[in-house]
Amino acid sequence: MSAPPDVTLEAHLPSHPRFLAFVRALAGEGAALAGFTDEDRDRIELAVVEGFSNIIRHGYGGRTDQRIEIRMRVPQGTFRIELDDWATFVDPSRIASRPLDDVRPGGLGVHLMRSTMDVVDYLKNRHGGTTLVMEKRRPPADGAAR
């Protein structure tokens, strides 16, 4: 069977946590289309859910009626997603996780995104908000075997 075509998808969602299951399913399908293993698919789902949640929690301060735009591109071997918000852009150097040995609730989202994806960037977008860019590439040896 031939490889599936490259897929590009755009979605506009309210900043409500009820959409996290949908966002996770979207990321998982994208990862599967790009040929990732189940283990990497789990990691991609986690990173995308953390990214979406962080926008609601930190970008919008918990407001659930704001807008989040998702752009997902999945050429074979790569998963790339961009999440746009319309909140205030925050200097990326100020975005950090808590130290892992300081065990307390919260503060792990950014760590989980950075430890599961190859690229995690925060860019100022044309709306004055932030575009969270995450990308993961399939290892070359994995791709060569297909």
Partner 1 sequence: MNCTTEALPKGMLLAVEGQVDMHTSPELRGKLRETLERKSSPIVVDLTKVGFIDSSGLATLIEALQAVGKYGGRLRLFGLSPAVKNLFKLSNLISIFDIRDTREDAVR
H/E element, 109: helix 109-116
Nearest distance from residue 89's CB to partner 1, in Å?
22
| Nearest of 90, 82, 99 to residue 134 by alpha carbon | 82
**Which residue type is seen at 138?**
R
For partner 1, which is the closer residue by CB, 53 or 76? 53
Partners of residue 79 on adjacent β-strands:
136
Cβ contacts of 34 within 8 Å, gap of 6 or more: 74, 75, 76, 77, 78, 79, 138
Rg (CA), the chain: 15
For residue 3, how many other CB atoms are within 10 A of its CB? 10
For partner 1, which is the closer residue by CB, 32 or 112? 112
For partner 1, which is the closer residue by CB, 21 or 96? 21
For partner 1, which is the closer residue by CB, 39 or 65? 39
Nearest distance from residue 9's CB to partner 1, in Å?
21
Nearest distance from residue 38's CB to partner 1, in Å?
8
Nearest distance from residue 106's CB to partner 1, in Å?
5
**Interface positions with partner 1 (CB under 8 A):** 16-18, 20-21, 24, 39, 42-43, 45-46, 49-50, 53, 56-57, 100-101, 103-106, 108-109, 111-112, 115-116
